[in-house]
Amino acid sequence: MTMIDTHIYMVRHAESVHIHGEERSRGLTEEGLLHAKYIADLFANIQVDVVVSSPYERAIQTVQYIAAEKGLNIQEYEDLRERPIKGLNYKETWDVIVEAIRVSFDDKDYALQGGETTNQARERSVPTLELLLEQYEGKHVVIGTHGNIMTIMMNYYHSKYDYHFWEQTSKPDIYHLIFRDKKLTEVNRLWKDNLFLS
């Protein structure tokens, strides 16, 4: 029986200014939009069959030019939204948030008040990814995503994708994941920080 490779391109969103209360609606900065256009150029010679995204505007905007160039619609999946480590109705310092994210990769049932644990985020996001692997077996799928939820999904397949991996990712970032029979067999980073100099 021939095993078929399915290609998933995790595209972490480009730069977006954090605005409290606008987690879902805040878009990319001017530089972020330039990065998004450059990402589309990177995919010019890469087969893309499907473009899906988190419903958050910054993720959609990051893959919108890929979809336009390939003549594809963007399919939004609510369960691919970013993981809120804290409740969205109150502010917290970045240092506290980062420390909470660090702890959450060791204690997967940990979150700040009102937040979502790593286990909870995994339980909603991984089935969506597995559904995509079933529906588009043998295809090339671009996913507009976020750093935390991307790392949580990748961590499900290999523990080396942890807090330290998340910490070194950039905005934007691109990881090419190759699956065979729903098993992650290879990961390559396609984005290089010096590819685009604004």
Residue 40 has, within 13 A of its CA and on its CB side, a CA count of 19
pLDDT at 194: 52
Cis omega before residue 127 (within 30°)?
A: no
10-residue averages of pLDDT along the chain (198 residues):
88 87 83 95 96 97 98 98 87 89 96 95 98 97 97 96 95 97 95 59
Give the whole-angstrom CA distance, residue 81 versus residue 175. Answer: 18
Residue 177 phi/psi, 5° resolution? -105, 130
pLDDT at 82: 95
191: left (phi over 0), alpha (psi -120 to 50) or beta: beta
Give the whole-angstrom CA distance, residue 76 versus residue 59. Answer: 10
pLDDT at 198: 40
Residue 15 has, within 13 A of its CA and on its CB side, a CA count of 8
pLDDT at 197: 42
pLDDT at 3: 78
DSSP for 104-124, written as a single string: HHHSTT--STT---HHHHHHH
Query: Cβ(17)–Cβ(26) under 8 Å?
Result: yes
Strands lying side by side in the sheet with 173-180: 74-76, 50-53, 140-145, 5-12, 173-180, 183-189
Query: Cβ(124)–Cβ(78) under 8 Å?
Result: no
Give the whole-angstrom CA distance, residue 169 versus residue 147. Answer: 7
pLDDT at 34: 95
Closest by CA to 80, choosing from 152, 182, 180, is 152
